[in-house]
Amino acid sequence: MLSINIPVYNIMVTDLVWQLKQQAEKISNDIEIIVYDDGSSESFKLKNRELAVVPQVFYREMEKNMGRAAIRNLMGLKSQKPYLLFIDADSKLVSNDFLKKYMEMAKPGVVICGGTAYSLQKPAGKKMLRWVYGQKREAISAEKRNSRKGFIITSNNFLIDRETFKKNHFREDIGSYGHEDTLLGYDLFKSGIQPLHINNPVEHTGLEDSLTFLKKTKTALKNLLFISEKILSNSDEFPNRMPFLKRYNKITGIIPPALIQWFFNQFKHTIEKNLTGKHPNLFLFDLYKLGYFASLKKR
């Protein structure tokens, strides 16, 4: 019936697994929970190993870190269940019928994205950027997500049937953080499959500090450049449909990239001071991303 796949890296996942198990027991005996540890530190493994003896939970440790795309492919392609649900380990269920909603809507050839939620309680100041960004840019309704008519999926919480995943899974060209789900969404789109967004979120609990989030944002932008210039260099659709690239191309059609890069070099430290402070401004964050991307392209 359903395989719930949770890749784990340096995080305790027992609470999430027990939440899922309690809901699964009310629905069917044919639901398994797969937990693959992707090279975590021993302290995290010691706690998560408790799951190895839990019925209907299958826990496995990788000898070395495989990366975000490869570990998800391994889990999904080894599963024998007709439907695959992927959930990030730093998640918390916020609905008592989370699994029920997915199973009621599961259909072959339909990719369903449940969405993301964030706590209403503000975190410590050093984590404000991630929280503000999540609240404003990620915790949005299904109606708004569906209205965009694009190929963007939210891989932290999505359902896909196994046969579709066998044909369109994560490309492993990208091993680091960022846009591996964008590439999957594009491949699904080219296969005639658009994501269906529903209001069935999980709460993102793993807030990084602002400096770490900035570093991950830069890594993601490097990946996006690699996708656009190497993997999908012959595609006109990708830059025209990918929101950030579409915005970047529109702006650089008016403002020369060299000027954007100059602005970035002049003011990046000032902007970083704001973004790592208690009151991060998302407009400045957008400028920062545009400037950094312009610098990458010049290189």
Per-residue pLDDT tens digits for 222-270: 999 999 999 999 998 899 889 999 999 999 999 999 999 999 999 999 9
CB 55 within 8 A of CB 24: no
| DSSP-assigned letters across all residues of 198-244 | -S--EEE--PPPHHHHHHHHHHHHHHHHHIIIIISTT-SHHHHHSHH
User: Which CATH number, 3.90.1150.180, 3.90.550.10, 2.20.25.240, 3.40.1180.10, labels domain 2-207?
Assistant: 3.90.550.10
Instruction: Supply φ then ψ for residue 40, to 5 degrees.
Output: -70, 165
Write down the residue that tokens 């830069």 correspond to: 218
Under the phi-then-psi rule, with left for phi > 0, alpha for psi from -120 to 50, and beta for the rest, what region is 264? alpha
> Which pLDDT does position 80 carry in this prediction?
86
Chain-wide mean pLDDT for the chain?
A: 94
Parts of the chain with a pLDDT under 50: none
Which ranges of the chain does DSSP label H, i.e. alpha helix?
Answer: 14-27, 42-48, 68-78, 98-105, 128-133, 142-147, 162-167, 180-190, 210-226, 237-241, 243-252, 257-275, 282-298
pLDDT at res. 173: 82
- Confidence at residue 150, expressed as pLDDT on a 0 to 100 scale: 75
Residues of the chain with CATH 3.90.550.10: 2-207
Q: For position 148, what pLDDT does the model report?
A: 77
CA distance 76 to 164: 11
Per-residue pLDDT, 116: 97
Query: What span, in angstroms and rounded, lies between the C-alpha atoms of 56 and 256?
Result: 57
